[in-house]
A and B are shown apart, each in its own frame.
Chain A
């Protein structure tokens, strides 16, 4: 049993079920990120944890006590909203202490808690202002201050960074991570941004269509996605998916496909799993991350198994730190992440290094990864 248990939690609006038997155990001090496209049910789940939406069936427990039907104020949680939801008629100081006031905390104690939080978030000079007089980043800090001051069991974040500009978003992301490392409060964080999910979390739940598609550490999610949805949703640019034919030859298993001139290519799977043998002669989807498809010099030197494919470059996109190179393998358009000074030009042939250690295969019928 974890610190925050979500057990078979289901949510229906009328006859429409929007969340299907979600099962997640969160340990104390964990940073769980719920990520998925809009409408996947992640915010609904968060609101159910907060008590802002009721649970149709199943159970949510915090520290072992069942929270179904418990008022949000009595769950000892704190929430940071996407719009920050600062009370416009109150000063920053009043905003931060409002919750304590409502819970009947004595004034002296309130002041002390507020001073601590203001110092932690460096918003001391803002305490007398109103939310309307603050910038986006400052509002964000105040919203976090309001959550922190309650010293809750669980922190809930609902896309807190999506209203900030790109640079501030990255800064605040680091800030949130630092804060979590310092305080160690159990956190559930909702976002649609897969980079936020990867960078912040200790574990990620990737959601789609009201189902948890995969629950795991960022590395597990990234390297061994459970299915095609997770593979394409996580990672930018997204994973290259190439249709290949499986060919077993003794102990080795090959993925056969064609380069853009129609010549056959054989890529040997690295340490192939026995399950893959069952697909002998059939078509599967080979998944290769852009950084596992690169130029020879840029290939991972520690990888035990790098294959080489000569192919024509169709487009190059220099992005400063990397150059993204588009090419066609097996009829599928692939993006390779090369070093920024890789010697490539559109229309010219170059040798791509494929790190087969990182390659994964999916069953095109079920869309699940072949374990």
Chain B
């Protein structure tokens, strides 16, 4: 009796699983379709696209659109391609990610291991930062940047992204450090290590997974941000996303779809790379704070 019902259970399980995987496969195909369109059309001459063959593989393969998007496309006044804006983005993202991650780690350390009166309220307020929509702060932020003399500069953008990111990074590190054994901190205190030594020598070396989460999250958000970039950076200082928009939206001349596709992929590449390199740790790190033990 028990044997029979177990057999049926296994058989129905197998059927159900096949079905589930089929459906999932369909979803994957559907989900990958835009990427396929982008890739395929970025290596075609423009004539093939305007001829109506959006979904077809290219008849003539060319990397011309990629080269054009990168170095000669008309963006703004000069035909510079996306290249200078790519470096704009890099010089904004790297310091912004580094600073917000370090500050988040320090905040998490203080909020869990150096508790003080009102620390949970403070943490709650910091969490609140995660829920403030970008649009609300645009005008006050512009005023602050103007007051600080950082308006229109990369440094200004870094500041904006750091301030916005601290809420998230603090949340990550606080939850990670909350389950980090306090006895280790106490042992280090008895051993004679001070506040920053404990942080550098004990806590940070054990924070790999959550640091990866914080870096991926911050990198993706800051790299992909358009609103702050469009609002607080001007002309030549604009980040990649704004430049891509300018490339695609330019109202003069023919719409070079193949160049646009290539440019869009170029803009998305860095985040893709970060995911491929560190994605494994990302999931691990996300789980780490949530499950005890």
Contact = CB atoms under 8 A, between A and B. Distances in A.
A49 to B, nearest CB: 11
Contacts of A146: 187, 191
A82 interface: yes
B183 A82 contact: yes
A73 interface: yes
A83 interface: yes
B184 interface: yes
A102 interface: yes
Interface in A68-96: 71-73, 77-79, 81-83, 85, 87-89
A83 B191 contact: no
Interface residues of B, number: 16
A78 B96 CA distance: 42
A180 to B, nearest CB: 19
A103 interface: yes
A83 B187 CA distance: 11
B181 A83 contact: yes
A85 B205 contact: no
Q: How many interface residues does chain A have, given as a range?
A: 20 to 34
Nearest to B203: A89
Nearest to A50: B190
Interface string B281-292: 000000000000
Nearest to B182: A85
Nearest to A71: B189
A83 B183 CA distance: 7
B189 A85 contact: no
A315 interface: no
B293 interface: no
A73 B206 contact: no
A73 B190 contact: yes
A99 B202 contact: no
28 contacts: A50-B186, A52-B189, A52-B190, A71-B189, A72-B186, A72-B190, A73-B190, A73-B191, A77-B190, A78-B190, A79-B187, A83-B183, A85-B181, A85-B183, A85-B187, A87-B184, A87-B202, A89-B205, A89-B206, A98-B191, A98-B193, A98-B201, A99-B190, A99-B191, A102-B191, A102-B192, A102-B197, A146-B191
